[in-house]
Structure 1
Amino acid sequence: MENKVNKIKEDLQQFIGSQTFYSLSLFSTKFTEGIKYLIEEAQCLWLVLDVSAICKSPVNQSYFVVIDFKKLSEKEQKEKGYAALMTYDDGNGNVFYKAHYPFTDFPLDEIKLYFVHDTLMLPSEY
């Protein structure tokens, strides 16, 4: 598992900008090559669906959203009662939504994503 995590982290660094955009028709969300890679390698279509649902909801009043996903340590999991946290903010640190996940099989401990003008991307693709 550790080799897979290291490979994903290393491979994600190669995505700078995006020539091709993909579409998630359920929410009319576009996503970049880096996100497509993440979906395939980390098997995390659920993450894209969740982000799209929140970023396209009335809860979001910003065209630029920073999404931070973080797995909690075992100690934090016991204290807080969930395994991972995903926060959504306007890019200025103003958090407008938090999602708690009781379980996650996402291989990375943390990742930051941007959602800009209906497009989900890695920060390096912005």
Structure 2
Amino acid sequence: MNSAKEIKDSLNLFTGTEHYYQHPFGILYTDGVKFLADSCSCYWLIDAVANWQYDEKVKQTEFQVYKLKVNEDKSAILNIEDGNYNIIQTQEIDFTDFPLDEIEIWFTNNVCYLPSEH
């Protein structure tokens, strides 16, 4: 596994995507999100984005921002925002081995992507 710094540095290199990958629940995700999931063993984060599409408040939000913040005790908070810093929903995570302190993923038009890929 790469260090957190190496992963962050690599994530910044994604400025578009060549491939779209389909999640079993029908959403798509980009090369950058696939790299994140592979590097951090966090396909569960893509699962969370896909699952939140079944929530009416989230589903009605055209542009969604997923902000994962890991606490020192390895618990985490996943906030779903509307792109204007308004929190739509919050998911508490009791434990995660996610190696980064935080990450932000965007979702619109049924595609999950890194901000640098916009």
Answer yes or no: same fold by TM over 0.5: yes
Deviation string, structure 1 residues 5-29 (Cα, Å, up to 9, x no partner): 111111101100112111102x101
- Number of residue-to-residue matches in the alignment: 117
Cα RMSD (Å): 1.5
Identify the residue that residue 80 of structure 1 maps to in structure 2.
Answer: none
Q: What letter matches 2:29 in structure 1?
A: F
Name the counterpart of 1:70. Answer: 69
The structure whose Rg is larger is 1
1:72-97 superposed Cα distances (whole Å, 9 cap, x missing partner) = 234xx8xxxxx110100110112110
Q: After superposition, what is the alpha-carbon deviation per residue over 1:19-63, rounded to whole angstroms, capped at 9, x for unaligned? A: 2111102x1010000001011110101110011111343231111
Structure 1 runs, 4 residues or longer, greater than 4 Å off: none
Q: 2:41 corresponds to which residue?
A: 43
State, as a whole percentage, how many aligned pairs show the same letter: 34
Match for 1:101 among 88, 93, 110?
93
- Residue 22 of structure 2 aligns with an amino acid whose one-letter code is S
Q: Distance in 2 between matches of 1:125 and 1:52?
A: 19
So what's the TM-score if we normalise by structure 1?
0.86
Superposition TM-score, scaled by structure 2 size: 0.92
- Asked whether the 8 Å contact 1:16–1:125 carries over to 2, the reply is yes
The answer as to 2:13 corresponding to 1:14 is yes
Gaps of 5+ in 2: none
* Aligned 8 A contact 1:67 1:114 in 2: yes
Alpha-carbon separation, structure 2, partners of 1:37 and 1:95 = 26
- Ranges in structure 1 where 5+ consecutive residues have no aligned partner: 78-82
CA contact (8 A) 1:55 1:115 kept: no
